Structure 1
Amino acid sequence: MPAAVTVCPHPVDTRTPRVPETLAYSLTLPAALASPAVARSAARTILEAHGLDDVTAAAVQVIGELAACACLFTPADSAYLSLRYREDALRISLYDGHPRHTHRRLAAACDGRRRSLLLLLACVMHACDSEWGFGESAEPGDGTRLWAVLPRAGARAYGHTT
């Protein structure tokens, strides 16, 4: 009897590899009070799965602050979170649907309000020797992009001081 031939694909290892370089996740969050907690919880799980336990303390704080701000500002029903690990740094982006104001004074007032809500984030980023900011976003769906780049060494040091 001839050997059976199969065209089924080989089984794929669906476990997440514990290497940071494969970290690339996106998550749509409802613009709700619970969303920052959901974002923090998801981030903890993702970072652990990729062997980045040493950056968790700083990353979870940063993600919670950005998510809270995005959920407060978005006029839409959702915000969008993106996590990537590149060049030994965790890159966090949050997009909300709040468009940039065209009037100079309104834009300045809105930016000032956003900065005042992100004072704790600014302190964490300073402690991690990191960069962050916000500005107009052309994707996804326009609005504002909030971002933070968290170098692993700075986040690790922050985790040892908290």
Structure 2
Amino acid sequence: MPISRCPLAPTYTADPTAPIPETLSYSFTLPAALASPSLARAATREVLKAHDLQDMLDPALQAVGELTATAVQFTESPNFYLSLRYRSSTLRLIAYDTHPRHTHPHLATACDTRRRAALRVLACVCRACDGTWGFGESPEPGGGTRTWATLPRASAASYGRTTGYRKGA
């Protein structure tokens, strides 16, 4: 039995099993900096590889880049949060930023339009993967906005593959 420096601290043994898709559950706090989308993509790449989800790399990295770039653009704090989860054969990506939802209808419409425009590539990726995306008020204690994307593995694995038809062939 390992000895703890603190007599009240419980001792936990490390789980020796290799990561599998179903155990993918990560959250990152990132600075609201221009380099953060690149760092988020790099971390996501390694997490997906470790959990044997390499077949989802292309759409997942594109989605993470879009989510984090938008969070950096909109957040009103020095940080934002990114969550990666894999459940029911679907990768769930969520970015939380501190930009509050507007109560005035005209401001809310203008802000939502601006956010939707910033996420137009994400919309295309999700559509191509039979996934979903959206944004709304964050249920987290700090408030702000939650932006998400879901990518089902079966369709995300074939993202970007041609169907065999080539113009001029």
Q: TM over 0.5, yes or no?
A: yes
* Deviations 1:51-96, CA, capped at 9 Å, x for gaps: 0000011000000000000100001111100001000000110000
Q: Give the count of matched residue pairs.
A: 154
Higher helix share: 1
Please name the residue that 1:21 is paired with: 22
| Segments ≥4 residues shifted beyond 6 Å | none
In the alignment, structure 1 residue 12 sits paired with structure 2 residue 22: no
Indicate the larger mover: 37-46 or 151-160. Answer: 151-160
Work out whether 1:145 is the aligned partner of 2:167.
no
1:126 matched to which residue of 2?
127
Deviations 1:19-74, CA, capped at 9 Å, x for gaps: 10000000001001000000000000000000000001100000000000010000
The offset of 1:141, in angstroms, is 1.3
Q: Tell me the distance in 1 between the aligned counterparts of 2:85 and 2:111.
A: 28
Q: Aligned AA for 2:77?
A: A
Gaps of 5+ in 2: 3-10, 163-169
Alignment of 1:83-122 (within 5 A): 83-122=84-123
Task: Tell me, yes or no, if the aligned pair for 1:83 and 1:91 is still in contact at 8 Å.
Answer: yes
Contact 1:43–1:60, Cα closer than 8 Å, also in 2 = yes
How far apart are the structure 2 equivalents of 1:93 and 1:50?
Answer: 18
What is the alpha-carbon distance in structure 1 between the residues aligned to residue 158 and residue 13 of structure 2?
40
Aligned 8 A contact 1:56 1:159 in 2: no
Q: Distance in 1 between matches of 2:89 and 2:40?
A: 22
Over the residues paired in the alignment, what is the CA RMSD in angstroms? 1.6
The 1:10/1:140 distance shift into structure 2, 3 A limit, reads: closer
Work out which structure has the larger RCO, using CA pairs closer than 8 Å and 6 or more positions apart in sequence.
Answer: 1
Q: Which amino acid aligns with 2:51?
A: H
User: What's the TM-score once normalised by structure 1's chain length?
Assistant: 0.90
Q: Residues 98 and 11 (structure 1 numbering): CA distance in 2 closer, same or farther, change over 3 Å?
A: closer
- Superposed, 1:59-74 pairs within 5 Å as 59-74=60-75
Deviation (angstroms), 1:12:
3.4
Which amino acid in 2 is paired with 1:54? Answer: D
Q: CA deviation at 1:154?
A: 1.4
CA distance in structure 1 between the aligned counterparts of 2:13 and 2:75, rounded to whole angstroms:
42
| Identity over aligned pairs, percent | 58
The aligned residue for residue 56 of structure 2 is: 55
The TM-score, its normalising length taken from structure 2, stands at: 0.86
Change (3 A) 1:72 1:13: same
Q: Which runs of 5+ in 1 are unaligned?
A: 1-6
**CA distance change for structure 1 residues 149 and 43 in 2, over 3 Å: closer, same or farther?**
same
